[in-house]
Structure 1
């Protein structure tokens, strides 16, 4: 805990419109799933800016999709707040190792877990691995996701539609069900949904549909989990600057990404992490079955 004399003399306020880079961005494209260091500008996950104050000290967490983007920012923030973190990812080894390095610098217990969470048994093994590593499990962040873009219905194959639902809806269900066998009263499940659940874009047809389903899953699961004293909530971001963007969108959309928000820029992952911290903390003890929007003023959530 910081003593009063250790706090800064005053809080420096900054204009949120110019706090981070604004479009137009350099034209860029990557092969899916994309790499963080190849982005221009490189996203901010709070590596240098996030300062913890012990809000999650002694807790343990699983963060899926923790290799990059919002997941990396959440893993870093949780570690800075004192939580042990299991960083789950699919196959992005380089990004995952980079996240692990930053998290371990916080002095917490941290581990990587690679695997396809659309397999129910892999989801169970991940939960078991976290409990084995940390001795318990207090927090689950279902953040991993899959998306592709298309111009008309024929560009969304049946296989892609099924994979998107398997990753974005089935996997969080498998993990939440497995985690509930271990989460204590006061524990939390937090899902990453999206503005797309409320204002779907046609070019993200499959992705938007899954996020609507995940909102429903969040609210329904919360009614079951509260019987064990476990809270279930979601964060709904708007445009966020992550490897998803240059690896799944046309270059012209990447260059203008986020310009339609009230801030005229996309969010950086570091700007989302405090919401995940708050929802996991005791400060949100009366919050469950809620969805918190961070859309840059794009739409009410």
Structure 2
């Protein structure tokens, strides 16, 4: 094989050749600079960005509000492209420096919550919503919630990185991760062939977790890869993904902590419902 890479005996970090994120990411953890996090007026303080992992939590919070739960929150933008995740304030609540992270100030000794699945579970149990309380239905939701947690890195860090973001395109990793993503899509499509929602007849945190990744993918909102992946083949995912997008809470959650796209898709920081209403009012009729 021409230009075959031979790994050195000892790996060293090269910030110049790794593409868009190489100058930001590092092989060590911890803060790079001092900066406190803002704190709004509500008990729930979310620090995030409107990536698929971030959308999970803003959709969840908006769904809780739609159910009449006392889940008002402030959502503060963490600009990962500018290294906000490495500030001292953010590292204090998530030593792994990844969005999203949540702090619930309703308790004086609140333990910060990080990892999106952990946040979804925390909110579902706190507000007693969108998660069955016992039995097989609860197990099914857990199965699919953690299926997503294990599968999404193949879609994001694997397929998405090499197909969309890597500084050079290489056939082997693109083929390797495309094969896995097609298999995952087939798994989901077969599940949705006999179920209205991911874990059965009831809407749950499994849907909220999976839609920002695989729903966005088949709807053409992620990596511009719908033709490459032939997503129209997955008719049951298409049905579910489209139905999810008709939910007002999904539409609202998608625009929070976002600064790209159309003007009606961008809301860097959210402090009350009116913030979202004003942005969505800009959407062409």
Same fold (TM over 0.5): no
Larger Rg: 2
Question: Which structure features the higher share of strand residues?
Answer: 1
